[in-house]
Structure 1
C-alpha cells in the first residue's frame, strides 16, 4: 500500500530553511488530521516568531489551545520582553514536571530552545536528550556543537541518518557538524548549502551557510557577496550582521555600521556581549597604565 502523501512537507521545509513568510503563505493546508493541524499551526506561529511578530502569537493563542501551541506561545512571551523571562521559565518547568503534558515533544523542544537562549546547555539537554523527533535530535546536534562536543553531535547525527538520510534537517545537521570539524569537511558543508540554493528558495539561512563556509576557506570576497545578498532579504538578521562584522574585519573594511545595527536590533547577541567585555577589559587595562 502506498504511503499517504505528507501534506505538510512544503510548509515544514520552508520553516527549516528559514523561508518563514513562504511557510506562513503555504499554511492553508486542507484535510489534515487534528494532530497535523496542530503541527501546521505550531509551524506557522513559530514562523511568525522567527519574523519577530511575538505579540501576534501571544494574542492569537488562547488558553484553550493544545499543549504544543501553548508551548509556542511561551516562546513568544519569552522573546517579547525580558520582564517575562522568569515567569516563562517557571511556567515551562511546571509543565515539564506534569506527567500529563511533560513528555510532549514540542514542549520539550521549546524548553530546549529557551534554555539555549539562557546559555544553559545542560538544562536544555535534560529535556531534549531523549529525542523522539527529527527536530529534537537536530537541536541536540546544535547543543553538543555549542558545548564543543562534536563526538556527541556525531552520534545524534547518526540517529537522524538512520531515520532519513535525505531529510532537510539531516542535511543541515551534517553541514553544521562539517563546519565544526573543519578541514576538508568545509567543502562538503558548502555543497550541502549549494544544493539547497539550487532546489529551494534562497534564504538568509542558506546564504549565511554558504558565507560561513567561504569564511572558513578564506574566500572573504565571495562570503561578503553572499552576506550582502542576505542583508537585502532581511536587514536585521543577527547572523548576517555578525558574519558581516567578521568578514569586513578580514577584508580590512570598516565594520562599525554592521556592529551598530546588531547592537540596536539584537543587544543580547553573543558578538555584542563579547565586544562589550573586550571594551571593558581594554578600558581597565588603560587605567592601570
Structure 2
C-alpha cells in the first residue's frame, strides 16, 4: 500500500492532479490513516483542478483533511471578508483540535499567505514528515532565506530522496542558489517520469513542471526556450497566472512589446489582484503622471 500511496503523492506534487485524483478514487486504504491521507489528497486535487461543488460536499466529511480543503476553498475563493475570516478561524481550530497533518499543512499555507511566516514554520515542525519538511523549505525560500533552505534540504535528505516532493524542493533550492542547469535537468527528469498524459514520451509535463523548466531557462538567459515551455503550459492552462506572469517577463526580455501587452491584458483579466499586475499598473500610473508633469 505504501507504493500506491507514494504514486498518489508523486503525481499530486508534480501537478498531475487528475491522475492523482483517479488514483485516490481507485485505491483501497488498508488502514484508517491511509484512508485519511487518500481522502485529504483527493480533496486537495479538487482544490487544484478546481471542483468547488465537490468540495462543498466535503464540508461535513469525517476526514479532517477534506474539511480543511473545503475551508481553504472558501478562504481563497470567497469575496466576503467576514466569511473568509471565519473560515480561517475554523481551519486553525481544526488543525489544533485534530493534530492532522493535512489540516496543519493547509493552515500553514494560509498563515504564510497572510505573512505570518514564523507561525507557519512552527506549524510545519509539529509534523516531521517529508511533505512538511518540503513546505518548510519553500517557506524559507519565500522569505529569501536561501542558506536556511539549503540546511533544511540537507536535513530532509536520506528519507525519500527519490520522491517528487523532495526533488522539486531540491530544484527550487538550485534555482535560488544559482544552479539553473541542475534544476532544469530535475524538471526534465520529472516530466519524463510523470508525463501529464499517460504514454506521452514528448517530454512535456504538467503545468507546474513546464513552468519550472521555463524558470530554469530564464535564469540561463534562454528566453526563447522558456517561451516554448510556457506555451506548452498555456495549452493546458490558458489562464494560469504564474504562466502568464512568466510569459510577460519573457516578452520583456525579448523586446516584444505587442506580445507583452497581449499576455498582460490576459493576466489582468484572469488575476486582477495578482502582485505583478498591481505593481505594473502602479508603475504605469507613476510614469504617466511624471510625463504629464513635464508637459504641464
TM over 0.5: yes
Q: Whole-Å Cα distance in 1 between the matches of residues 280 and 127 of structure 2?
A: 35
Secondary structure class of the residue paired with 1:164: coil
**4+ residue runs of structure 1 moved beyond 6 angstroms?**
none
Q: Whole-Å Cα distance in 1 between the matches of residues 129 and 2 of structure 2?
A: 19
**Does 2:156 match 1:160?**
yes
**Does 2:234 match 1:234?**
no
Q: Find the counterpart in structure 2 of residue 225 from structure 1.
A: 228
Structure 2 unaligned runs (5+)? Answer: 196-204
Aligned residues: 280
Secondary structure class of the residue paired with 2:273: coil
Alignment of 1:83-122 (within 5 A): 83=80, 84-96=83-95, 98=96, 100-101=97-98, 103-122=99-118
Q: Find the counterpart in structure 2 of residue 180 from structure 1.
A: 176
User: In terms of mean alpha carbon deviation, does 38-47 or 125-134 score higher?
Assistant: 125-134
For 2:274, which of 269, 276, 283 is the aligned residue?
Answer: 269
Q: Find the counterpart in structure 2 of residue 73 from structure 1.
A: 70
Q: Whole-Å Cα distance in 1 between the matches of residues 10 and 252 of structure 2?
A: 34
**Does 2:148 match 1:149?**
no
Q: Find the counterpart in structure 2 of residue 135 from structure 1.
A: 131
Q: Find the counterpart in structure 1 of residue 193 from structure 2.
A: 199
User: In terms of mean alpha carbon deviation, does 245-254 or 155-164 score higher?
Assistant: 155-164
Q: 1:287 to 1:131 in 2, by over 3 A?
A: farther
Offset at residue 64 of structure 1 (A): 4.7
* Conserved? CA contact 1:48–1:57, under 8 Å: yes
User: In terms of mean alpha carbon deviation, does 202-211 or 119-128 score higher?
Assistant: 119-128
**Does 2:12 match 1:9?**
no
Q: Find the counterpart in structure 1 of residue 54 from structure 2.
A: 56
* Conserved? CA contact 1:55–1:76, under 8 Å: no
Structure 1 unaligned runs (5+)? Answer: none
* Deviation readout 1:172-228 (Å, 9 max, x if unpaired): 00100010111xx11111110111122111211111111111100111111111110
Q: Find the counterpart in structure 1 of residue 200 from structure 2.
A: none
Q: Whole-Å Cα distance in 1 between the matches of residues 239 and 140 of structure 2?
A: 27
* Conserved? CA contact 2:39–2:63, under 8 Å: no
Q: Whole-Å Cα distance in 2 between the matches of residues 5 and 111 of structure 1?
A: 26
Q: Find the counterpart in structure 2 of residue 189 from structure 1.
A: 183
* Conserved? CA contact 1:54–1:77, under 8 Å: no
Offset at residue 131 of structure 1 (A): 4.3
Q: 1:231 to 1:255 in 2, by over 3 A?
A: same
After TM superposition, the score normalised by the length of structure 2 is 0.88
Q: 1:222 to 1:71 in 2, by over 3 A?
A: same
User: In terms of mean alpha carbon deviation, does 31-40 or 215-224 score higher?
Assistant: 31-40
The one of the two structures with greater contact order (alpha-carbon pairs below 8 A, sep at least 6) is 2
Q: 1:126 to 1:31 in 2, by over 3 A?
A: closer
Secondary structure class of the residue paired with 1:26: helix
